[in-house]
Amino acid sequence: MDLPFGEHCCERLHIMRPGTGLRNLTVTPPTDVVLEASLIGAVVNRPRVYPLVAHITPDDFADEAHAQIWAAIQAVAAAGGTPDPLTVSRAIAGDDAWRREVYLFLADAVTAVINPAAAPDYAVSLRDLAVKRAVMAAAAEAIAAAGDRIMPTPAGEVASNAVAALTRTLAERGECEDAGAIAARIRADLDRPVRVTRTGLPRFDRLLAGGLYEHKLYGLGARKKNGKTLLLGTIAYNVTIAAPEPDPVVFLALEMDPVEIMHRLLGRHMGVNANAFLDPVARGQPWFRRALEAAEVAFAARGLHFLARPRMSLDALRAELARLGLSGRCRGVILDYAQLVGGRRHTDSGADHLDDVGQTLAEAVKRYPYWILAAAQLNQENNVRGGEGLLNACDMALRLTKVPMGGGANDEAFIEIMDTRYTRYGSVGTENSPAYEVVADGGPYFHERDAQEAA
């Protein structure tokens, strides 16, 4: 990224902001005063780009002078003015000598060789550095807590509290945004591809209006032993192992051990039932070992990751979702399943706790660039067991219903929308015409019939 402006101007105004928790770090917090000056310069050079970067706050700047100037730019724009050097320097707090210094700094920006169209890119980089400093501050606080011998804190709680504090800090950076600024961001995003993950089940993708979209929370409800984990495993396999271009997925296994789930996925790849991994005769066959070795190669580095977390607390879930979001290397999170998230406060009912779980998931997808597919157990009335919190939090809630078959035939199933915010209601298959068949010869896994086959 070309940053021609700022190098000769920063010395005049350079006043570093230490930031909470960063004073005692031996590692220098990442800053870029030239980048900060270039963003300011882009705005005063061409004020109409300001709506594209209006989400940036003074706290995103490491340099105190730059933060003050940005606050003045915000004030001028909020009052309906044009953030040019004169109006901004008049709006800034301080004496006349300071305002003159700011005016000269901004006047340089008007005549500098700068690309105002790059302002959104500057903003992305600036926010990235600010987030990294916030991460370092949270780490510094965690280090202090971990080293406290007077009031020791368990290691898991130290880590969970640190990331939870970081998550709250990032949430607090949000602010009211003008509708025109939002429209400008939408227009700027038109040339960027929409990120959607195809599930490998075409009829299901059509029900989802194309697939699983980032920043959306999907709930999958089913009665116990009705195939929740089986469908989640099928989708996880389809979007990673079977996909031409895999989308990285993290499978949070709160119930079944990842080894049990992998038996099914490996069995599907090898064309055998998962029970073969428990059969001493099959395990000793040379062909079985060769097939497993080939499957091991096929599964490596395809973006499918498991995290076994029995009795995972709500705080630990928040921390893990933040870690995955900040890593930027995860396109989707699968949670199996919501009622197994622990850590309920003594003052909360089960319904209150499930509300908190649902809101935690909903907040995560709004904050981070991934989707979440969370399973939940349904009661006999086909409502979410323990309360409707997850159902209320989801962008789309789906119900999986298994249709048991007798006479040795494979079980069948269909999926219907329970609730949705952005599509029409519908289903894939019905009780009389199930769209899915449990393939037991390999896996097991769900096979989706096409419409003609289902009919």
Cβ neighbours of 260 (radius 10 Å): 14
pLDDT at 303: 94
pLDDT at 217: 96
d(Cα 399, Cα 280) in Å, to the nearest integer?
Answer: 38
d(Cα 252, Cα 340) in Å, to the nearest integer?
Answer: 11
DSSP one-letter code for 445: E
- pLDDT tens, residue order, the chain (455 aa): 444 444 444 444 544 454 444 455 566 788 888 889 889 999 988 888 888 888 898 989 999 999 999 999 999 988 888 898 899 999 988 888 888 888 888 888 777 656 777 888 888 889 888 888 887 887 777 787 777 777 676 766 776 677 666 666 565 554 556 787 778 778 877 877 888 999 999 999 999 999 999 999 999 999 888 889 999 999 999 999 999 999 999 999 998 999 999 999 999 999 999 999 999 999 999 999 999 999 999 999 999 999 998 888 888 888 888 888 877 789 999 999 888 998 888 888 878 888 889 999 998 998 888 999 999 988 766 566 556 767 788 999 999 999 877 666 688 999 999 999 889 999 999 999 999 999 999 989 999 998 666 55
Sorted by sequence, the CB contacts under 8 Å of residue 99 that are 6+ apart come out as 89, 90, 92
E strand or H helix at 452, and its extent?
helix 451-454
Cβ neighbours of 438 (radius 10 Å): 21
Among 371, 369, 380, 343, smallest CA distance to 221 is for: 380
> Are the C-beta atoms of residues 198 and 239 closer than 8 Å to each other?
yes
Q: Is the dihedral of CA 224, 226, 230, 232 positive or negative?
A: negative
d(Cα 320, Cα 312) in Å, to the nearest integer?
Answer: 10
Among 220, 224, 226, smallest CA distance to 201 is for: 220
d(Cα 321, Cα 166) in Å, to the nearest integer?
Answer: 12
d(Cα 103, Cα 277) in Å, to the nearest integer?
Answer: 74
Would you call the peptide bond into 213 cis, given omega within 30 degrees of 0 as the criterion? Answer: no
Q: How many residues make up the chain in this entry? A: 455
> Are the C-beta atoms of residues 377 and 408 closer than 8 Å to each other?
no
- DSSP string spanning 251-297? EEESSS-HHHHHHHHHHHHHTSBGGGGG-HHHHT-HHHHHHHHHHHH
pLDDT at 20: 47
Q: Which amino acid is at 117?
A: A
pLDDT at 223: 85
pLDDT at 7: 46
| Residue 276, both tokens | 């073969």
SS3 category, 21? coil
